[in-house]
């Protein structure tokens, strides 16, 4: 994964092909483990590539059809007769889930039963995926960093809150001004848990507008994802949060699928198998973009770890899964890893996968973050692919509070949201054409390296390259740029800051605060100021919704805020 502990992206290390794990010492008889059981073929399957509606949603079929991607035997489900043979063996093996792409099943059983399974003529091989059975316990909270100084157009900043710079840096604010906020695009987020997402005010539009369409928990089973580790909450907020005046993510109108694939209590290949299962779910559900802030390099003993040589896109199970996900028409966005200043140094799986976007981290000025992992992949491909703000990036906690943290974990969703909006704006592109368009117009497109890849992409630059006769303006042009702003919003007990449009500067102002009934509850005079930013104190206000009105002569502007 990708936080400040060994579990998180870049701070975990893996080594060796999944098949090699079968050579590790067998589990003690009677101890139930999870194993990946590979079948020999799909002979006799009742499914057909000519009838994909039996195993793919209409949206999934449409995504493939639009991109000219055929349904292949690889896409057919595992033969159900093979699954039945496994289930009927003595020892009561449990088939947890199956994999279409790998023609395999994740099976929970003890070592004696596993021997019976591998003896079946239909089985090619098996690999043990986990070696411990630990109870869930909360992982440490991410390290928070101090806020960065405000920069840029403050009226727009007042709307976006602390997310402003990370959104603006890749052109997402201009993308929103142009009307592309991810509407109609489906994004799947793979992570370790999403506590608080169903309660955070800035995330409520997801529920009010029915844009959280599915949840899957591949660790515990079932559909409850509002538990476990808050890393997923942090990451999805960077895309989906939508509370003007407090925080706006990069694709605040997209539709979401939340999947728990990571167990932070241990590091074993079972989590990569969970990633595979989630990717196949995303494919079948018709997802457009996968955002994954997870990474694998080293496992807990006795599972065998990866070496850098295995970061070739063809060895790690998550990398192989990510490659297939790209082949079936999804854009996979994966955090590159946080290993840049430690002994591993390089990208982790699945960031090494072919045909995906591996995301490096930069600061607000576009400088590479020291912790961001380097490329290339072990087979010499340029990695990472692109970069976004991951140093002092703003995300939300399960309580709904905004904080700043470090990690390619955060750069990944910031960029994934822009990718969704860019694809929305250019719906005739294929997934690979989306990646190519962003890559070819990024800040280092003419001189890519293994620090930031092709560099920092920008929505406007990429869009204008595709639409030279109808380009967008390079800067935001929405009415919010000349609106009255106020932050923080919601407000606490401290001072507030007014962000004045040009027509209210340089003259004395009258400020009034009206409650929800329209009654004036506070009033004051403000001295003339040429500054765009003026601190004010509203006095003691009861909790609730208010309107702040600022006027000068016949010019009057209002902004709504919430007192907490």
Spatial CA neighbour of 393 closest among 424, 367, 366, 414 = 414
Check residue 202 and report its DSSP letter: G
Question: Going by C-beta distance under 8 Å and a sequence separation of 6 or more, which residues neighbour residue 201?
Answer: 243, 246, 400, 490
Asked if 56 contacts 283 with a C-beta cutoff of 8 angstroms, the reply is yes
User: How far, in whole angstroms, is CA 30 from its chain's centroid?
Assistant: 39
Active site residue 137: no
Got the DSSP string for 21-62? GGGSPPPPTT--EEEEEEES--TT-S--TT-GGGTS-HHHHH
Which is catalytic among the residues 110, 177, 191, 352? 191
Question: Going by C-beta distance under 8 Å and a sequence separation of 6 or more, which residues neighbour residue 348?
Answer: 9, 10, 12, 13, 14, 295, 296, 297, 311, 336, 337, 339, 373
CA dihedral sign of residues 396, 399, 400, 401: negative
Which is catalytic among the residues 291, 318, 319, 409? 409
490: cis peptide before it, omega within 30°?
A: yes
Active site residue 409: yes
Distance CA 496, CA 517 (A): 22
Other CB atoms within 10 Å distance of the CB of residue 169: 24
Asked if 334 contacts 322 with a C-beta cutoff of 8 angstroms, the reply is yes
- Which alpha helices (H) appear in 407-448, and where do they start and end? 408-425, 431-440
Active site residue 231: yes
The backbone region for 182, taken as left when phi is positive above 0, alpha when psi lies in -120 to 50, beta otherwise, is left
Which is catalytic among the residues 35, 176, 231, 257? 231
User: How far, in whole angstroms, is CA 294 from its chain's centroid?
Assistant: 9
- Residues annotated as part of the active site: 191, 231, 409
């Amino acid at each position: 994964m990708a936080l400040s502990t060994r579990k998180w992206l870049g701070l975990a290390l893996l080594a060796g092909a999944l098949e090699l794990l079968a050579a590790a010492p067998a589990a003690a008889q009677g101890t139930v483990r999870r194993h990946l059981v590979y079948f020999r073929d799909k002979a006799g399957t009742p499914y057909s590539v000519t009838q994909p509606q039996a195993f793919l949603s209409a949206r999934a079929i449409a995504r493939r059809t639009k991109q000219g991607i055929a349904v292949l035997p690889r896409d057919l489900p595992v033969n159900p007769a093979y699954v039945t043979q496994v289930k009927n063996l003595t020892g009561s093996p449990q088939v947890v889930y199956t994999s279409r792409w790998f023609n395999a099943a994740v099976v929970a059983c003890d070592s004696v039963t596993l021997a019976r399974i591998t003896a079946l003529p239909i089985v090619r091989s098996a690999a043990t995926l986990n070696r411990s059975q630990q109870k869930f316990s909360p992982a440490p909270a991410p390290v928070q960093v101090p806020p960065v100084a405000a920069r840029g157009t403050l009226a727009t900043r007042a709307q976006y809150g602390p997310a402003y710079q990370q959104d603006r840096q890749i052109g997402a604010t201009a993308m929103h001004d142009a009307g592309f906020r991810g509407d109609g695009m489906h994004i799947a987020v793979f992570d370790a848990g999403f506590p608080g997402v169903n309660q955070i005010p800035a995330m409520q539009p997801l529920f009010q507008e029915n844009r959280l369409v599915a949840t899957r928990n591949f660790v515990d089973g079932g559909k409850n994802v509002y538990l476990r580790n808050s890393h997923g909450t942090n990451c999805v907020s960077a895309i989906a949060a939508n509370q003007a005046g407090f925080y706006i993510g990069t694709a605040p109108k997209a539709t979401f699928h939340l999947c728990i694939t990571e167990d932070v209590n241990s590091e074993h290949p079972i989590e990569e198998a969970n990633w595979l299962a989630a990717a196949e779910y995303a494919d079948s559900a018709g997802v457009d973009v996968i955002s994954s802030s997870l990474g694998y390099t080293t496992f807990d003993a006795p599972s065998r770890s990866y070496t850098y040589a295995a970061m070739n896109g063809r060895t790690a199970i998550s990398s192989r899964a990510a490659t297939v996900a790209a082949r079936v028409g999804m854009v996979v966005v994966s955090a590159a890893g946080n290993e840049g200043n430690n002994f591993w140094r390089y990208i982790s799986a699945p960031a090494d996968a072919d045909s995906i976007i591996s995301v490096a981290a930069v600061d607000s000025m576009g400088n590479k973050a020291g912790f961001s992992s380097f490329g290339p992949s072990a087979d010499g491909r340029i990695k990472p692919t692109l970069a976004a703000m991951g140093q002092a990036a703003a995300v939300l906690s399960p309580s709904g509070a905004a904080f700043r943290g470090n990690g390619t974990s955060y750069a990944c969703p910031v960029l994934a949201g822009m990718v969704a909006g860019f694809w929305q704006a250019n719906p005739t592109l294929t997934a690979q054409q989306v990646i190519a368009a962003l890559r070819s117009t990024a800040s280092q497109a003419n001189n890519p390296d293994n620090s930031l890849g092709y560099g920092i992409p920008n929505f406007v630059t990429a869009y204008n390259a595709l639409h030279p006769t109808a380009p967008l303006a390079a800067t935001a042009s929405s009415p919010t740029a000349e609106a009255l702003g106020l932050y923080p919003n919601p407000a606490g007990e401290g001072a507030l800051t007014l962000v004045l449009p040009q027509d209210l500067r340089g003259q004395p102002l009258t400020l009034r605060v009206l409650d929800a009934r329209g009654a004036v509850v506070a009033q004051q005079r403000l001295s003339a100021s040429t500054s765009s930013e003026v601190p004010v104190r509203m006095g003691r206000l009861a909790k609730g919704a208010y309107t702040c009105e600022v006027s000068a002569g016949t010019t009057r502007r209002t902004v709504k805020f919430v007192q907490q």
